[in-house]
Amino acid sequence: MRTVIQRVGEASVTVNGSLYSRIGPGLLVLLAMAPGDEEKEIAWMVRKVLNLRIFEDSGGKMNRSVLDIRGDLLLVSQFTLYGDTSRGNRPGFSVSAPFSKAKDLYNRFVETIRSECSLRIETGCFGAEMQVRLVNDGPVTLIVDTPLKQ
């Protein structure tokens, strides 16, 4: 599983010209699923997203998590995070999970994170053409991959 986690002042998703979801201060999380991802990877990434200390404390250090600040979360599926650009100029997506598996994993990720916290959680529309808008705070943007399977 791969994520791009962005600290935001606000973020929104529009689908077919209509607002689909919106959050205030918190995290925009773009998620891509790999074919071998299962519950172990979901649990690991949920813990990482909720506990990643990328919000500033009173001393100006990144010491607080989204849980600490009671921030919002916007979870958006984005299979292109696994785009392979090593050959040619058109990305290949063979290392992304197939549509039905990715949809199931994404839904399980959303369910798991909702069960782990009481924060406001919004989502994108899986499989739809979306326009994602954000105000990146900092800017703080991290790419986080689950550990390689042993």
pLDDT in tens, 37-95: 999 999 999 999 999 999 999 999 999 999 999 999 999 999 999 998 999 899 998 88
Torsion (CA) 42, 111, 3, 72 in degrees, nearest 10? -140
Q: Which CATH architecture has domain 2-145?
A: 3-Layer(bba) Sandwich (3.50)
List the catalytic residues. Answer: 78-80
* pLDDT the model gives residue 77: 97
The whole-model pTM stands at 0.95
Residue 150, token pair as written in the block: 């042993």
Q: Is pLDDT at 150 greater than 60 in this prediction?
A: no
Mean pLDDT, range 118-147, rounded to an integer: 97
Domain edges within the chain: 2-145
Q: In Å, how far are 20, 106, 116, 127, 136 from 109, measured between CA atoms?
A: 19, 5, 11, 16, 23
Provide the angle, in degrees to the nearest 10, between the axes of the packed helices 39-51 and 99-116.
50
Question: 97 pLDDT exceeds 60?
Answer: yes
Q: CB within 8 A of 29, min separation 6: which ones?
A: 3, 4, 5, 6, 49, 73, 74, 75, 76
**pLDDT tens-digit map of 25-47:** 999 999 999 999 999 999 999 99
Least Cα distance to 31 among 46, 16, 17 occurs for: 46
pLDDT interval class at 149 (50, 70, 90): low
Question: In the prediction, which pLDDT does 148 show?
Answer: 74
